[in-house]
Structure 1
Amino acid sequence: MKLPISTDTPKGFLISVLVIIALFTLSTLFFFYVYLPSYTNHGESITVPDLEGIHMDDIDDFLVKRNLRYEVNDSSYSEKYEPLTILKQYPKAGSKVKEGRKIFISINRVSPPTVPVPELVDRSLRNAEAVLKSNELNRGQITYKPSQFLNLVLEVSQNGEVLKPGDRINKGSVIDLVVGDGYGKSNFDAPDLVESDLENARFIILGSSLEIGLITVEGDTSNSKIIVTRQHPAAGEQVKIGDAIDLWISPEGYVGTEGDEEDEDI
């Protein structure tokens, strides 16, 4: 290219250099901000639609018609949606992406996975409900049955069929519970606590809706295994809910002598 300005003088040469720099700069700006964006559709984007809950049969209406692609990369289960509906997506709904972008989706399984029935019998109703929830099971109907133990789980069933711990059922199943009403027979046999350790005796007493009465210590109980040697009322005697059970405790193998007993409330 012949420049219209003479380059024979220093001034003319300088002007020629500046003209060349300006032309190069303009060409660069034109390439990056005019030609390249138009060639690559720069600035044009597509808003990713919300696919959650959409059935796979309808996916084309939400993606293909928007010039987007998709790929199933995972499957899980939710009782909230029908089988083969979309549970998750990436990129998330509302994201701006280029044409032809692949959307990764997770779909709901046709059959729910199974889980074992947890051990619920002899648990409190509140505890059983927590265990069911942690195992992704639902508590159904509660039926009360005469028992001196209020809200103690007595039986577990599904659709009228009694379940045993370990039986496989679908995740999300509804489990019915039979629990005690707390109004069983007013009198019942006192539990046998003799030769039980103290902690186990406490557990049995409280679990039987009884109270812990006076505890009498016999002998030196430090650094020894402590067991129940006597109780009142005795095992098998009639008691009612709320009655107190007095205990005599001593080191295992202790042989007492007259006059060495002392009473101590623990």
Structure 2
Amino acid sequence: MEGISKGLKKLGIHILIMIGILFALLFVFFTIYLPSYTSHGESVTVPDLEGIHYSELNNFLVARDLRYEVTLDSGFVAEATPLSVLKQNPKPGAKVKQNRKIYVTLNAENPPLIKMPGLVNTQLKNAQEILANYGLVRGEIVYVPDIGINVVLEQKYRGRDIKEGFEIPKGSQIDLVVGDGYGNQSFEMPNLIGMDDVEAEFLILGSGLRMGNINYVKTDTVPKGTVVRQLPPDGVMAKTGERVDIWVSELLDTIQF
């Protein structure tokens, strides 16, 4: 019995020693080796990359022990520099490990083309919201005499009328011609036939009407620059702010001998 007791005692001591060694190994592994292997406690603060150009990203991040990758998505902000950073992930201020990859979204080098929305006969407030939703910029607002108050009468791009559906670069500026609400006066349309185009335009605007299209007609019987047709014709009742189109003579090409 005494021999068995001593044997069990020795076995118990050996087990305790093995448990002690195991705990010591686990302690060393979790407190020394693992933190050293994983760089535990060493972190980098993610910088704000917004506005930094693509050509500067690599050097900027390498100096901070970080990397980057450009996402397939791209955006476009007219005010931002082409190929500059618009968004990033992780966000600025986040704590990450060294050599962490930062995903960036760049501003497109060229603005995408979008179809011009239809704003005519729309209230100015709604038109401005539509432009913003399409990524377009509201430009100059020109008020003209018209019965519709704050109603869009014309939409213009670079000084010319632009039709709905026409493709233009995103971020383009759109000017609006808007009614002032006072165009309820009626009068006879003046006669413009025989006037030169400058004189006719002066009379149209001076009568509270709007200048419409100027069309050119080749002729050898009427002096160049003379109005030969108008629409609406003279004598009909017109309202303030109504649009007037005119046709102006051009000389026929002559053959030189």
Structure 1 length-normalised TM: 0.63
Matched to 2:34, the amino acid is L
Structure 1 spans left out of the alignment, 5+ residues: 1-6, 190-237, 241-266
Would you say the 8 A contact 2:111–2:169 is kept in 1? yes
SS at match of 1:123: coil
Distance 2:18 2:162 in 1: 89
Offset from partner CA, 1:162-220 (integer Å, 9 cap, x none): 2111111111211111111222242479xxxxxxxxxxxxxxxxxxxxxxxxxxxxxxx
Q: Say if 2:128 is the partner of 1:129.
A: yes
Would you say the 8 A contact 1:49–1:62 is kept in 2? no
Would you say the 8 A contact 2:58–2:68 is kept in 1? no
What is the match of residue 152 of structure 2? Answer: 153
What is the match of residue 178 of structure 1? Answer: 177
Quote the sequence identity (%). Answer: 48
Q: Tell me how large the CA RMSD over aligned residues is.
A: 2.4
What is the match of residue 36 of structure 2? Answer: 38
Structure 2 spans left out of the alignment, 5+ residues: 189-236, 240-257
What is the match of residue 77 of structure 1? Answer: 76
- Of the three residues 9, 22, 26, the one matched with 2:24 is 26
CA drift at 1:9: 4.4
Would you say the 8 A contact 1:141–1:175 is kept in 2? yes
Q: How has the CA–CA distance of structure 1 residues 151 and 40 changed in structure 2, closer, same or farther, with 3 Å as cutoff?
A: closer
Q: Say if 2:57 is the partner of 1:59.
A: yes
What is the match of residue 113 of structure 2? Answer: 114
SS at match of 1:44: coil
Aligned residues: 186
Structure 2 length-normalised TM: 0.65
Q: How has the CA–CA distance of structure 1 residues 49 and 41 changed in structure 2, closer, same or farther, with 3 Å as cutoff?
A: same
Distance 1:106 1:147 in 2: 46
Q: How does 1:216-235 map to 2 (within 5 A)?
A: none
Would you say the 8 A contact 1:51–1:62 is kept in 2? no
Distance 1:182 1:39 in 2: 76
Distance 1:27 1:146 in 2: 91
Question: Which of structure 1's runs of 4+ aligned residues deviate more than 4 A?
Answer: none
CA drift at 1:86: 0.5
Distance 1:135 1:53 in 2: 23
What is the match of residue 209 of structure 1? Answer: none
CA drift at 1:159: 2.3
